[in-house]
Chain A
């Protein structure tokens, strides 16, 4: 057991005087396995595991990894869908002494190959026979199992690396963030101390993709004896199904982005709402008030990947959004351009975070690491570092820490952290493009999208977008690309983002709604959601760039507009716009949608 002593400081943001005792998570898991071998550990589409089985499988895979040459300090790629194999593989990487590196099978092969090479993986766990990883890297099936091994159970040192998770990088390539075991164990302990994790065993929905660090605070709960419900992609894409799954397993805790909540709030109305852990993007005022007024048990969690998921948290109560207070062990400083504390109410500063939750940094990028993880002049212990978040914040008159914005060109879109510079690099690398710019624009109130701009002898925007989809994960691909003769420049020769025109393919939002019949209204919704100027009856939703959240928006908008009971299946099963329109007509003939119920509190205990 390791103890992090964190004395309080005269820091600008209230630092909590706390000593956190953090047992390593593998030791905690062993205790649970010993005490509750028959308790449900994992429920997933491909089956359930009790703790004894989770232990047996992860130990067997860990031995197989060691047999393949994996040693302490190595990195193991995990290239798996959302199944029961996933927590087995993550734990097996840890038990083999390695850090895990998530490789989302849905990402383009080019992207996976880059991450696998950049992380210098010692092995990969994959259900595919030939995942896109460098030649010579051993590939193990998630069911691999070796019995004989003379090595003792691995007990990580707090500084041993636990994972490397890739985030968007402003220079055109994703960058890994390497996080030590002590920080992960400290996160679990801090969430327990703060009351976010309740003492009794919980049933936790694993909602976030393992590629994003929000998943860490979800899946590691298995190590404290909570039951994990692994939500797969199809369950995740269909709110009604997801809500049924939550009820079926009696889920008590659900992590989600405010954008995802917008899609779940209606299907959840009248049901028992789990405790909500909201993060990934600022909670809009309207959402905050809705949750607070309804008495829903919800927490706002803020923190960059570089500070191990969560740094600052607030219960979602009271009049409006705020970040809250640092978790136990975290020191938060609001500093000005001279690195002096900002003390005046309302004055904006940049948020710096410190404490044992800091990542090691960006492997392979020492210069970048040294510029973001910097010497901490406020630390009680000499030689400590703090992380420069790039987030601006202020203290309100009543002392609440409020998020203001970014100092740079990083944006949050539906919870995804995106460096606009990375998308610009990818766009600029396409054949025929001489210059590229990307901005965030609001197509309709609350509907933010990426807009790309290129100059040069570029091809058709649709072709550029489909090329881009081969290089970038879906969340980094712009909704539109506009071809310009030249990009507007500022007097000192940089791209003038403020002077870029409205996107060429701006959806026809200005057209009068409900002008035509059902055909026209369905087409209109497709244009709006997909951000394309024209749709044909023979167009297929997915090939126009439709993704699962876009499909949900289509169904949602048409339910409202036409008052019909539509299912996501109606859209996904339709071959083209004509087929979907026919399904909408059938739904309309079947009768009106159920009335929208109000949200009710099902809070069981108030902390």
Chain B
């Protein structure tokens, strides 16, 4: 059984939610509510590289905001 997140020949998007959590997303499946496309359509590896560059701390944004206030 193939997985829609592991297909090197398909196009992908990078989605972001309110907590700045990022999700890889297959371009051919509807984007779920509460998520915004910030990159793509692009090949899978390019999307992953983009995420590595642009999402540096994987913790939720609301948490990081309160930690930074200390």
Residues on A close to B: CB < 8 A? 71-73, 157, 159-161, 178, 180, 336-339, 348-350, 360-363, 365-367, 369-371, 373-377, 379, 381-385, 388, 392, 407
Q: Say whether, besides A72-B67, A350-B1, A369-B58, A383 and B22 are in contact (CB < 8 Å).
A: no
Complex interface: chain B residues within 8 A of A385 (CB): 17, 21, 23
User: CA–CA, A180 to B62, complex, Å?
Assistant: 13
Q: Say whether, besides A73-B67, A338-B4, A366 and B29 are in contact (CB < 8 Å).
A: no
B70 engages A375 (CB within 8 Å)? no
A338 engages B29 (CB within 8 Å)? yes
Mask of B12-41 contacts with A, CB within 8 angstroms, 1/0: 001101110111111001111111000000
A337 engages B48 (CB within 8 Å)? no
User: CA–CA, A401 to B56, complex, Å?
Assistant: 37
Cβ contacts A to B, 11 pairs, < 8 Å: A338-B4, A339-B4, A339-B26, A367-B48, A367-B52, A370-B48, A377-B29, A379-B32, A379-B34, A382-B32, A385-B23
Cβ-based interface call for B9 (8 A) = no
Complex interface: chain A residues within 8 A of B49 (CB): 367
Say how far A71's CB is from chain B's closest CB, in angstroms.
6
**Which residue from A71, A157, A371, A379 sits with its C-beta under 8 Å from B66?**
A157
A360 engages B59 (CB within 8 Å)? yes
A178 engages B58 (CB within 8 Å)? yes
Residue of B nearest to A364 (CB): B58
Complex interface: chain A residues within 8 A of B58 (CB): 178, 360-363, 365-366, 369
Say how far B33's CB is from chain A's closest CB, in angstroms.
4
Residue of B nearest to A337 (CB): B2
A72 engages B70 (CB within 8 Å)? yes
Complex interface: chain A residues within 8 A of B67 (CB): 72-73
Residue of A nearest to B57 (CB): A363
B17 engages A383 (CB within 8 Å)? yes
A339 engages B29 (CB within 8 Å)? yes
Chain B, interface residues (CB within 8 Å), range: 35 or more
**Which residue from A157, A180, A366, A384 sits with its C-beta under 8 Å from B51?**
A366
B1 engages A392 (CB within 8 Å)? yes
Complex interface: chain B residues within 8 A of A73 (CB): 63, 67, 70
Q: Say whether, besides A370-B23, A371-B48, A373-B23, A382 and B66 are in contact (CB < 8 Å).
A: no
Complex interface: chain A residues within 8 A of B17 (CB): 375, 382-385
Chain B interface, DSSP helix/strand/loop, else mixed: loop
Say how far A97's CB is from chain B's closest CB, in angstroms.
9
Q: Name the 4 nearest CB pairs between A and B, nearest first.
A: A382-B34, A383-B34, A383-B17, A367-B48
B3 engages A350 (CB within 8 Å)? yes
Complex interface: chain A residues within 8 A of B15 (CB): 375
User: CA–CA, A348 to B55, complex, Å?
Assistant: 34
Residues on B close to A: CB < 8 A? 1-5, 14-15, 17-19, 21-26, 29-35, 48-49, 51-52, 55-60, 62-63, 66-67, 70
B32 engages A370 (CB within 8 Å)? no
User: CA–CA, A339 to B24, complex, Å?
Assistant: 14
A384 engages B34 (CB within 8 Å)? yes
User: CA–CA, A336 to B17, complex, Å?
Assistant: 24
Say how far B34's CB is from chain A's closest CB, in angstroms.
3
User: CA–CA, A134 to B4, complex, Å?
Assistant: 40
Q: Identify 17 new A-B residue pairs, CB closer than 8 A, beyond the known A339-B4, A374-B25, A382-B17.
A: A72-B70, A157-B63, A338-B29, A339-B29, A365-B58, A366-B52, A367-B49, A370-B24, A374-B23, A375-B15, A375-B31, A375-B34, A377-B32, A379-B32, A382-B33, A382-B34, A384-B17
Residue of A nearest to B64 (CB): A73
Say how far A512's CB is from chain B's closest CB, in angstroms.
44
Q: Say whether, besides A370-B51, A373-B21, A375-B15, A161 and B29 are in contact (CB < 8 Å).
A: no
Say how far A386's CB is from chain B's closest CB, in angstroms.
9
Interface centre among A361, A373, A375, A376 (most CB of B within 10 A): A375
Complex interface: chain B residues within 8 A of A382 (CB): 17, 32-35
Say how far A384's CB is from chain B's closest CB, in angstroms.
7
Complex interface: chain A residues within 8 A of B33 (CB): 382-383
Complex interface: chain B residues within 8 A of A377 (CB): 29-30, 32
Interface centre among B14, B23, B26, B29 (most CB of A within 10 A): B23
A370 engages B14 (CB within 8 Å)? yes
B5 engages A374 (CB within 8 Å)? yes
User: CA–CA, A381 to B66, complex, Å?
Assistant: 23
User: CA–CA, A337 to B10, complex, Å?
Assistant: 13
User: CA–CA, A370 to B56, complex, Å?
Assistant: 12
User: CA–CA, A360 to B57, complex, Å?
Assistant: 10
A160 engages B22 (CB within 8 Å)? no
Say how far A38's CB is from chain B's closest CB, in angstroms.
37
A348 engages B4 (CB within 8 Å)? no
User: CA–CA, A365 to B57, complex, Å?
Assistant: 9
Complex interface: chain B residues within 8 A of A373 (CB): 21, 23
Interface centre among A367, A370, A381, A384 (most CB of B within 10 A): A370
Q: Say whether, besides A157-B66, A370-B48, A375 and B23 are in contact (CB < 8 Å).
A: yes
Residue of A nearest to B1 (CB): A337
**Which residue from B22, B55, B59 sits with its C-beta under 8 Å from A178?**
B59
User: CA–CA, A90 to B67, complex, Å?
Assistant: 21
Say how far B14's CB is from chain A's closest CB, in angstroms.
7
A336 engages B70 (CB within 8 Å)? no
A375 engages B55 (CB within 8 Å)? no
Complex interface: chain B residues within 8 A of A361 (CB): 21, 58
Say how far A314's CB is from chain B's closest CB, in angstroms.
24
User: CA–CA, A350 to B17, complex, Å?
Assistant: 24
B18 engages A348 (CB within 8 Å)? no
B22 engages A366 (CB within 8 Å)? yes
User: CA–CA, A366 to B18, complex, Å?
Assistant: 16
